[in-house]
Structure 1
Amino acid sequence: MIVVDARTIPCLLLSNGGLYKTTRFAEPVYLGDPINIVRIFNEKEVDELCLLDIEACKSGRPPDFDVIREIVSECFMPVSYGGGISTLDHCARLISSGIEKLVINSALGERPEFALEVANMFGRQSVVASIDVRAGPDGRYSVWTHGATRDTGVDPVGYASRLERFGVGEILLNAVDRDGTREGYDLALVRSVSSAVQVPVIACGGASSLDDLAAVIVDGHATAAAAGSLFVFYGRRRAVLINPPTYDEFQAAVAERWHARNGCA
């Protein structure tokens, strides 16, 4: 059995005090109260949660610190948070609320040196660069910011490398066109970014099965597989059912994928 230090991370979308799931960053579907859902993830013994406020940046407001503090107080696992983070004060308040990792998107697009400032104050391990990527009509990838509403025209591979030099400790790579579709991860995108940086890459967008999670680790060279729909919906009617894989199930799937790829018995 291959030993793999890989993770699965439920990615929860916060909006106006509730949790939602989107498709291609649109068509939000209400999942329920954050506290109730977090308690279920506690029971499932999830290792880590990623909480993203999908309205904060688009509306130009800072993080909702009261809501975040309430949610984190119920979590038995480490929590990363993104949405509306643009100042060191925001970072300090989030860290004091119990957030372990700061997921920063638009602020880095406008001022990448902000990553270095945050890393110097809170440690590199606390800085996660969120990179939202879409493919244009010609198939070329580009980085989008502000909730995937602004096209920077920047290639994600070069962008990820630049942010690594500015001190980010991890990258959350989101394929916007795969978000909520359950069509599988964009393995070519994940592989291109993962091979260009030394920091861990969390892949997000498109997971439909346990095999997809394993594929993005083995074939995409990601360090972690993040997912939303796969962990919160069940069946063709997309009934809300919180059901992430166990650690052993995930590791077994990764090992099976690795052995199949490498021709091992």
Structure 2
Amino acid sequence: MRVIPRLDIKNENVIKGINFEGLRVVGNPNKIAKKYYEDGADELIYSDCVASLYGRNSLTELVKNAVKDIFIPITIAGGIRSEVDANLLMKSGSDKLAINSELFSNEKLANLLVQKFGSQSIVLSIQAKKITKNSWEAYKNFGRDKTGMDVMDWVKKMTKYNFGELLLTSIDADGICGGFDVELFEKVSKIVKIPIIACGGFGKLDHIKELKKYANIDAIALSKALHYEKITIKEIKDFIKKLDE
């Protein structure tokens, strides 16, 4: 199971909130990213959390600077609306692009990007909010806007585009550090064959054990527990190694 720090970025700062709200500044993205790289992160996710809202992605320069010192895969999320946006980010040094909001109005973008860059470089991003005990709605624009689409239906609809991975985020669990939405990941892992990155809810090592027990997860993405130094990447990786033995 890969360990992937997620850096939510607004106005060139790493920020963190709870349920995607009440955002607070944490620090400089590239300093934080470099520390996580040196601490043994497998990959990094940079997410421009206002890009879709303002119709732009501002991470190009950040990525250019990051790749000078960081030699693990970097995934960029937020504001990717066209082949032009994707080209800019890939030329800047991104390894993967995660797409969410634009797909609800332009499904063809999925096929276009997968054809151009290959499945291994294009990640389907889904932000899920629980509606009832067994159902979730997909959200867009960094969890701001409802789509009216059931998450399971959306996952099934999107699988035909051959995404390389699924970045699945629980809005309800985000920033609370109270554990993963295990039911969400269990249900989705039964209907997709591509690797799933579970995001939202990590707070302590037993949360990984619980998730692993019920869902087939390839990676976890986390932020708050690392940003506030509640745990180290090494502790997480050592724990995962023991679970696998």
| TM-score normalised over the length of structure 2 | 0.93
> Which whole-Å CA distance do the structure 2 matches of 1:208 and 1:154 have between them?
29
CA, structure 1 residues 187+20, in 2 after alignment: closer, same or farther (shift >3 Å)? same
Matches within 5 A, 1:21-60: 21-60=16-55
CA, structure 1 residues 214+49, in 2 after alignment: closer, same or farther (shift >3 Å)? farther
Match of 2:202 in 1: 207
> Which whole-Å CA distance do the structure 1 matches of 2:133 and 2:201 have between them?
21
Match of 2:121 in 1: 126
Asked if the contact 1:17–1:34 (Cα under 8 Å) also holds between the matched residues in 2, the reply is: yes
The Cα offsets for residues 140-169 of structure 1, whole Å up to 9 and x where unpaired, read as: 311011121221121111211221112211
Asked if the contact 1:215–1:254 (Cα under 8 Å) also holds between the matched residues in 2, the reply is: no
In the TM superposition, residue 73 of structure 1 has moved relative to its aligned partner by 2.6
Amino acid paired to 1:229? K
> Which whole-Å CA distance do the structure 1 matches of 2:115 and 2:132 have between them?
40
CA, structure 1 residues 33+171, in 2 after alignment: closer, same or farther (shift >3 Å)? same
Alpha-carbon RMSD: 1.9
1:251 equivalent in alignment to 2:226:
no
Match of 1:145 in 2: 140
Matches within 5 A, 1:221-240: 221-234=216-229
Asked if the contact 2:130–2:136 (Cα under 8 Å) also holds between the matched residues in 1, the reply is: yes
Question: Please, which runs of 5 or more residues in structure 2 have no aligned partner?
Answer: none
In the TM superposition, residue 228 of structure 1 has moved relative to its aligned partner by 0.9
Matches within 5 A, 1:96-245: 96-136=91-131, 140-234=135-229, 243-245=232-234
Partner SS for 2:97: strand
How many corresponding residue pairs? 245
CA, structure 1 residues 78+195, in 2 after alignment: closer, same or farther (shift >3 Å)? same
Partner SS for 1:111: coil
Amino acid paired to 1:210? L
Asked if the contact 1:179–1:205 (Cα under 8 Å) also holds between the matched residues in 2, the reply is: yes
| TM-score normalised over the length of structure 1 | 0.86
Amino acid paired to 1:243? T
- Of 116-125 and 224-233, more deviation after overlay is shown by 224-233
CA, structure 1 residues 253+23, in 2 after alignment: closer, same or farther (shift >3 Å)? farther
Amino acid paired to 1:244? I
> Which whole-Å CA distance do the structure 2 matches of 1:72 and 1:214 have between them?
33
> Which whole-Å CA distance do the structure 1 matches of 2:104 and 2:212 have between them?
27
Question: Please, which runs of 5 or more residues in structure 1 have no aligned partner?
Answer: 1-5, 236-241, 257-265
Match of 2:77 in 1: 82
> Which whole-Å CA distance do the structure 2 matches of 1:112 and 1:250 have between them?
39
> Which whole-Å CA distance do the structure 2 matches of 1:72 and 1:28 have between them?
26
1:91 equivalent in alignment to 2:80:
no
- Of 247-256 and 31-40, more deviation after overlay is shown by 247-256
In the TM superposition, residue 68 of structure 1 has moved relative to its aligned partner by 2.5
